[in-house]
Homo-oligomer: A and B are copies of this chain.
């Protein structure tokens, strides 16, 4: 019995991972159920049996990624007390998330590009909770007289959008190294931590009172 259970779980996990990759690569419309099944080494019908149709699969995949992210970010942020530390924790959490879910930026871009056409409500809640987090950080810092009062949504989207564009743009930059100037390629290959430090610096410079 436990054997069956484990086998089932393995199957489901293989499906979800394959789906994640392919949704990230091709978006919802571009993804092919057949390809997902192939990559998961699973009969196509098993996807329908275990999970449901393409929409259900998409929902499940997104929630798996964004739900986990929202929880971990809240954890990391709340472990700190001072607003500056919280802000750092927030940005590093994004880094940690990208480390664990390297497909996340592109998934998010597909979704945003489509205007959230396929965005399931649970995932919208996940995203909302993340924005709530940064809003509370800024508010706290402001009350303590440490932070200027900047729009948290804009700040958040600059961080997230910047990082996403940076990472998602990597293949493009690599392909067009020549046109982009040496720096571009050099930066593109730099490890994630460098990028995050730069972003952190920019954000904290912008936030802190002189």
- B-binding residues in A (CB < 8 A): 25-30, 106, 109-116, 119, 121, 124-125, 128, 131-132, 135, 148, 150-155, 157-166, 168-169, 171-172, 175-176, 179-181, 183-184, 187, 195, 198-199, 201-203, 205-207, 210
* Contact call A154/B112, Cβ cutoff below 8 A: no
* Contact call A115/B168, Cβ cutoff below 8 A: yes
* Contact call B150/A157, Cβ cutoff below 8 A: no
Residues of B within 8 A of A109 (CB): 109, 112-113
A135 to B4, CA, bound (A): 59
8 nearest A-B residue pairs (beta carbon): A161-B161, A158-B162, A116-B172, A161-B165, A109-B113, A29-B29, A29-B30, A128-B179
In whole Å, how far is A37's beta carbon from the nearest beta carbon of chain B? 15
A152 to B113, CA, bound (A): 25
With beta carbons under 8 angstroms apart, the residue of B157, B159, B184, B203 that contacts A131 is B184
